[in-house]
Amino acid sequence: MKKLICVANPKSQNGTVGAKTELLREYLLKRQIEHHLLDLTTTEFLGELTKILRRGDAEVLLGIGGDGTHFSLMNTLQAIAAKHPEIKLPDYALCPLGTGNDIAKSIGLKVGVKNYRHVVDTALNGTSTAVDLGCWDGQYFADMVSAGMDATILNKREQLTAKLRNFPLLNKLLHGYVVYAIAGIITLIRRSRVRAEIRIDGDTWYDGPVCAILVNNCPVHAGEFILTPDARMDDGKLDILYIRNRIQYLLHFVLGWRHLPGFIRHGRCHRRTQGERIDVDLSASSPMQIDGEPVDASQSIRLTTVAGAIRLRIPSS
């Protein structure tokens, strides 16, 4: 059996991923599964990973963390492929330990420390499936890109999380979705709209006011919502939804809760569509995020689809 390459960011999730990674290592040793364990945050990481891939003794890379960690690792793999075309990339598998875990939930992967057996079995014996990545300004994403209110909420959550680190007791009580909800309430109080021209595969699809634009590669959004139910990671397209105002934004999330019956969540909506290329021009600079990571505000988005860019291990069932 070839080794697993396990890669973690031990500092993520307020440092809790480090302890959870140690539990995973103990589980792998208990099952006598050979593996490499690499730290994503070290300066030696890229060189160590490239060396292992050159040897060809590992066929699966297991990313340990949330969607931001997977974003970083998938971009690392694409960079290695571009620089060293002779290296065969491993399949990618997920050990979802983040807040949202959109990608994992979209493919039916169980989340959390209690599901390490399911995670490892999927990494070793799951179905190898070619999936698409979106590309924006040289960065690849498996999950989503958003602009406007959605990205503003994420930025506010990051600010609140940073402040809470100064108050250990509050930091222990307020985390994950609680902080996200607080950030959402603060953001919804403020009115913020811009004008957007959205072009799908070169043709103008919408030109008007928006408070948020969401582009998804997989259906689950922010961990608990399905706002683009037709999104698939293997269809060669990205799914886009624009939301015009705060009331619509709130309704989309209330009615898009993924545990609601499908006939409620999957209602027809003229504000969403699909395309291989999506171009957005905004009347003013707007907050942006990619795979849960805040990026610089911008007035334009240029997105393309890279079909079958990576092979993902998904649960066989």
pLDDT at 110: 92
Looking at residue 130, its pLDDT comes to: 98
pLDDT at position 175 is 64
What are the residues whose beta carbons fall under 8 Å from the beta carbon of 68, sequence distance 6 or more?
12, 98, 291, 292, 293
The token pair that represents 83 in the structure block? 């620089």
Non-local (6+) Cβ contacts of 182 within 8 A are: 157, 160, 174
**Are 253 and 223 spatial neighbours (Cβ–Cβ below 8 Å)?**
no
Q: What is the pLDDT of residue 116?
A: 96
Same fold, 3-125 and 144-307: no
pLDDT at 151: 87
Distances (CA, A) of 244 to 8, 26, 210, 211, 217: 38, 49, 4, 5, 21
Domain ranges for the chain, please list them: 3-125, 144-307
DSSP state for residue 110 in the 8-state scheme: -
- Quick one: pLDDT at residue 179? 76
Give pLDDT, residue 173.
66
User: Using CA atoms, how far apart are residues 306 and 272, in angstroms rounded to an integer?
Assistant: 20
What is the C-alpha to C-alpha distance for residues 251 and 67, in angstroms, rounded to an integer?
25
pTM metric for this prediction: 0.90
User: ∠ at Cα 98 (123, 144), nearest 5°?
Assistant: 90
- Among 3.40.50.10330, 3.90.180.10, 3.40.640.10, 3.30.56.10, what is the CATH number of 3-125? 3.40.50.10330
Q: Provide the token pair at 292.
A: 């849960």
Query: What's the confidence (pLDDT) of residue 267?
Result: 59
Q: Which residues pair with 77 in a beta bridge?
A: none
Identity of residue 224:
E
Q: Does domain 144-307 have CATH number 3.20.20.370?
A: no
Question: CA-CA distance, 121 to 109, in Å (whole number)?
Answer: 11
- Which residue's structure tokens are 């945050």? 41
Contacts (Cβ under 8 Å, ≥6 apart) of 299: 281, 282, 283, 284, 285, 286
Q: Tens of pLDDT along the chain (317 residues)?
A: 568 999 999 888 777 899 999 999 999 999 999 999 999 999 999 999 999 999 998 899 999 999 999 999 999 999 999 999 999 999 999 999 988 899 999 999 999 899 999 999 999 999 999 999 999 999 999 999 999 998 888 878 777 777 777 777 766 666 667 776 777 788 778 778 899 999 999 999 999 999 999 999 999 998 999 999 999 999 999 999 999 999 999 888 888 999 888 766 655 566 999 999 999 999 999 999 999 888 999 999 999 999 999 999 999 97
pLDDT at residue 172, as a whole number: 67
Helix/strand/coil for 19: helix
So what's the pLDDT on residue 229? 92
Residue recorded with tokens 């680190």:
165
Three-state DSSP state, 96: strand
